[in-house]
Structure formats: structure tokens, C-alpha cells
């Protein structure tokens, strides 16, 4: 649970959740150990092909352990699954802070199969 990624429409904790995975605008990475975050503009969103797997690669490389997202496709989900990253349902339009709080309190539902 130490590193949590949220797909976001903007770069701050007040930004809203972007429902998309591969084409979300920003990835906000919350580090629970240091209680700090960093936001990464999702360059893979501009790709013509493979934005899902490329975004998934970024999360693997960043050592993320949990992902909060609205929708995720089969290929990205496979990467999450094999990479040991748990995926949780975040509601599009809620703030990043809200879904992070909900996640840390154990209130988010785990996504067990691709939903997009």
C-alpha cells in the first residue's frame, strides 16, 4: 500500500479523477510512507497505439503497489495483475484527495477483472 497511483485530470490533489487509464492526463503518485505525492504528466496518453501498456509500464517502473482508476482495459489489467499492482475502483469526477482517503480507509472496491 505504500505507493498509490491515481489517474487524474490535473496535477494536484484537488484535481478530479480521470476515468480513463491509458489516456488519463496525469498520474498522481501518493507515497504513504513519506505522506507526499508527485504528479507525472502522462506522455503515453498522446500515443497512437499502446497507451494502456505504456502507462502500465510507468506504474511498474515507479514501484506502485495500488492503482485507483475508473476504467481499465484487458492488456493494462494483465500488466497490473502480473506486476502485483492491486486495482481499485475510483469514481470519475471525485477529487484525488477524496479517493485517496477512501482507499487508505479501505473503502474502495477492488477491481478484479478489466472493465473497459
Partner 1 sequence: MSLTISVASGKGGTGKTLVATALTRILADQCPLIIDTDVEEPNAALFLPVSNLQVEPVHRLLPVIDDDMCTYCGICAEVCEFGALTVLPQQVLVFPELCHSCGACAGLCPERAISEENSLIGQVETGSINGMGQLVAGRLNIGESLSPPVIKAAKKKQAGADLTIIDCPPGTTCPMIEAVRDSDYCLLVTEPTPFGKHDLALALEACKLLGVEAGIIINRWQGEDNGIIDLAERFGTPILGYIPFSFELAKAYAQGQDPLKAMPELGGVLERVFRQIKESRS
The site for partner 1 (CB under 8 A) is made up of 44, 47, 49-54, 56-57, 60-61, 75, 78-79, 82-83
Q: How far apart are CA 33 and CA 49, in angstroms?
A: 35
CB of 116 to partner 1, least distance (A): 15
In this structure, the chain runs to a length of 116
CB of 54 to partner 1, least distance (A): 4
CB 36 within 8 A of CB 116: no
Q: Which is nearer to partner 1, 19 or 50 (CB)?
A: 50
CB of 76 to partner 1, least distance (A): 9
How many CB atoms sit inside 10 A of residue 74's CB?
11
Q: Which is nearer to partner 1, 36 or 61 (CB)?
A: 61
Q: Which is nearer to partner 1, 87 or 99 (CB)?
A: 87
CB of 44 to partner 1, least distance (A): 7
Q: Which is nearer to partner 1, 79 or 99 (CB)?
A: 79
Residues 6+ apart with CB under 8 A from 80: 56, 59, 67, 72, 86, 87
Q: How far apart are CA 57 and CA 91, in angstroms?
A: 23
Amino acid at each position: 500500500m505504500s505507493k498509490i497511483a491515481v489517474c487524474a485530470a490535473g496535477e494536484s490533489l484537488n484535481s478530479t479523477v480521470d476515468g480513463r487509464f491509458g489516456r488519463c492526463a496525469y498520474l498522481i503518485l501518493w507515497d504513504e510512507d513519506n505522506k507526499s505525492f508527485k504528479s507525472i504528466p502522462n506522455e503515453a496518453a498522446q500515443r497512437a497505439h499502446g497507451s494502456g501498456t505504456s502507462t502500465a509500464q510507468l506504474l511498474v517502473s515507479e514501484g506502485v503497489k495500488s492503482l485507483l482508476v475508473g476504467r481499465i482495459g484487458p492488456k493494462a489489467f494483465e500488466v497490473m495483475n502480473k506486476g502485483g499492482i492491486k486495482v481499485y475502483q475510483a469514481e470519475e469526477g471525485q477529487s484525488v484527495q477524496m479517493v485517496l482517503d477512501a482507499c487508505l480507509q479501505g473503502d474502495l472496491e477492488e477491481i478484479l477483472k478489466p472493465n473497459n
